[in-house]
Amino acid sequence: MVYNFDELVDRKNTNCEKWDNCEERFGRNDLLPLWVADMDFKTPDFIVNALKRRLEHEVLGYQIRPASFYHSVENWLRQRGWQTDPGKIIFSPGVVSAINFAVNVFTNPGDRILINTPVYHPFMYAINNHGRTLVKSPLINSGNGYYTIDFDDFESKLATGVKMYIMCSPHNPVGRVWTLDELKKIGELCLKYNVPVISDEIHSDLIFKPHKHIYFASISEEIASQTMTFIAPSKTFNIAGLSSSIVYSDNTVMREKFSKFVNSLSISAGTIFGDIALEAAYTHGDSWLGQLLEYLSGNCDYVVEYLKKYIPRIKTVKPEGTYLMWLDCSELNMTSSQMQEFLVSKAGLALNPGHIFGNEGELFVRLNIATQRAILVKAMDSLRNALDKTDF
Domain of residue 36: give its range: 17-44+286-386
Query: How many domains are there within the chain?
Result: 2
HSE at residue 261, side-chain half, CA atoms within 13 A, is: 18
**What are the mean pLDDT values of the chain's consecutive 10-residue runs (392 residues total)?**
96 96 95 97 98 96 95 98 97 97 98 98 98 98 90 98 98 98 98 98 98 98 98 98 97 97 93 97 98 98 98 96 97 94 97 96 97 98 95 66
- Backbone phi, psi, residue 325, to 5°: -115, 140
105 and 155 share one domain: yes
Asked, for residue 11, whether it belongs to a domain, the answer is: no
Asked, for residue 152, whether it belongs to a domain, the answer is: yes
279 and 290 share one domain: no
* CB distance 42 to 9 below 8 Å: yes
Amino acid at 390: T
Amino acid at 29: N
Asked, for residue 2, whether it belongs to a domain, the answer is: no
Query: d(Cα 384, Cα 386) in Å, to the nearest integer?
Result: 5
Asked, for residue 125, whether it belongs to a domain, the answer is: yes
92 and 240 share one domain: yes
List Cα–Cα distances, 14 to 18, 19, 20, 48, in angstroms: 10, 9, 7, 17
344 and 238 share one domain: no
159 and 222 share one domain: yes
228 and 244 share one domain: yes
Question: Where residue 120 sits, what CATH number does that domain have?
Answer: 3.40.640.10
Give the DSSP letter of residue 219.
S
Query: d(Cα 355, Cα 157) in Å, to the nearest integer?
Result: 22
Provide the pLDDT for residue 145: 87
Q: Which of 226, 259, 284 delimits the end of a domain?
A: 284
For the question of whether the overall pTM of this predicted structure is more than 0.85, the answer is: yes
268 and 336 share one domain: no
* CB distance 281 to 236 below 8 Å: yes
Query: d(Cα 117, Cα 174) in Å, to the nearest integer?
Result: 10
175 and 147 share one domain: yes
Q: Which of 242, 257, 284 delimits the end of a domain?
A: 284
Asked, for residue 91, whether it belongs to a domain, the answer is: yes
39 and 86 share one domain: no
Asked, for residue 226, whether it belongs to a domain, the answer is: yes
Amino acid at 185: K
Query: d(Cα 91, Cα 221) in Å, to the nearest integer?
Result: 23
Q: Which of 254, 269, 284 delimits the end of a domain?
A: 284
Query: d(Cα 168, Cα 139) in Å, to the nearest integer?
Result: 12
* CB distance 168 to 202 below 8 Å: no
The secondary structure of 163-220 as a DSSP string is EEEEEESS-TTT-----HHHHHHHHHHHHHTT--EEEE-TTTT-B-TT-----GGGS-
Provide the pLDDT for residue 143: 76
279 and 291 share one domain: no
* CB distance 268 to 238 below 8 Å: no
Asked, for residue 1, whether it belongs to a domain, the answer is: no
Provide the pLDDT for residue 390: 84
Query: d(Cα 62, Cα 242) in Å, to the nearest integer?
Result: 16
30 and 100 share one domain: no
Question: Where residue 329 sits, what CATH number does that domain have?
Answer: 3.90.1150.10
248 and 264 share one domain: yes
Provide the pLDDT for residue 221: 97
